Amino acid sequence: MGLRRAGHDPRPLGGRLRQGDLVLHPPRAWPPPDLRARHGPRRDRADRRGPAMIARGLLLAIAIALGAGGAAEAFERGINVNPWFTKPRAQKPGSKPVVFADPAYPAYTAESYRADLEKIAAAGFDFIRVPISPGPFLPMDPDKRRAAFANIRTVLETARAQGLDIMLNIHAGSTVSYAAIAADEGLREQYIASLLDLIAVMGDLGFEHVLFETINEPSSVCDDPVWPIFQRQILEAVAAASDEARMVVTGSCWSAIDGFVLLDPAELPLDPERLYYTFHYYSPYVFTHQGNSWSGDPGNRVVTGLAWPAARGDLESARARILEVAPKTEGYARFGEAATRQALDLADRYYASNAGPDFIATDFDRVADWARAHDIPADRIILSEFGVLKRERKWQGADIDSAARWVGAVRQAAEARGMPWAMWSYDEGMALTVADRDIRWHGELVEALGLKSPEAEPIP
């Protein structure tokens, strides 16, 4: 299916990871000196746009003008099917470093997730974004790794049978971080080998129906000098191995807009007609992530009661809720009153900002301006994550009506600019479902996404 293995040694490289011995410590040095030294300084923009790149850009523009898209499907409305493949089984849950079970995932069949996929398709979604944890796969030998990917492909074949296209994402961060991979030459080589194996296995689904992302949310540093180099290495390897695989590239800064607009398409060593672009959107963060349990900022863990738009809420009500909920928050004893004070300050500043739809429109205009500056069609820029932590399950997030208003505003901002989107996520935090492992959906979110499902149910 268009995959060339010549010039690529699929064996595990670098000897850094072994099955059952995955270390997840952050890098000691950043950026890794070996990566910067080999590639040297960035060239000036005038030096980067050679005749070949200009010619490829003209061919792409002509193809678009003539409506020539081959058999490739349009990706328009998607959902992230998290956590289907982001929580591999560990031999000893909670242990660090993680030692994965063998196999790390159960044996899937054509019936696995069938009911979910049927409902996803019936609601009007046309693609799923599929996050896959890299942790268990990096240390595997190629044959075993491809067999593990083929196991996941069984579920995706069911998705294709429902008419759903697929955006595959190696979800660094869930079991092994981007920073750990980028800082270690052996891990980088293992990562690229894993991605090429994923392309080889998933190409059987039809390359016209599948997109492959380079990685998930690289680097917290928006102008990280390492990620552009690493991303080029990934694309060079893909170009050498496959004639057909279409790749999705992203910027640093957790794939946020600030990192995305620093992308230079002229630096990407893959034919433009095989390139898509992606960014994530969770702004204002204090609203979308209120009451989260993982933030390093204790104030973000206990802030709650924030409405969207800010004009629909009330500061005093939010402050009262924070004072009520904060002492009951998991881990509060570690932070104490300092967390409460920070949360109250966050609420004060949020309501003073009067954040609303104009806030979102301004952000999305930055992406649209970038697209025009680089002659990138809007339908090749995919908003592949956006969502809100809600007040349900173990979370103290936003009320469902505020969450739905924000989701609707973001969806409309993307569509107004011709950009496809995929909501985060199907299950767990920020979920479309009303409870973990539940097939019932939040009717408010279905409506906010502009979709219809006769089985959608409001939150109990």
State the DSSP string of 82-145: TTTBT---BSSTT-SS--B-SSSS----TTTTHHHHHHHHHHT--EEEEEE-STTTTTS-HHHH
The pLDDT assigned to 217 comes to: 96
Give the pLDDT of residue 366.
99
- At residue 393, the pLDDT reads 80
- Give strand pairing partners of 268: none
- Report the pLDDT value the prediction gives residue 334, as an integer from 0 to 100: 86
Domains of the chain from N-terminus onward:
33-37+81-286+358-448 (3.20.20.80)
pLDDT of residue 70: 39
Q: Which residues of 145-159 are buried (b: 16+ CB within 10 A; e: fewer)?
A: bbebbebbbebbebb
| Interatomic CA distance for residues 381 and 431, integer angstroms | 23
Q: What is the pLDDT of residue 65?
A: 38
Residues of the chain with pLDDT under 70: 1-73, 174, 453-460
CB atoms within 10 A of CB 74: 11
CA atoms within 13 A on the CB side of 116: 22
CB atoms under 10 Å from CB of 9, counted, come to 10
Q: Which two tokens stand for residue 25?
A: 């410590």
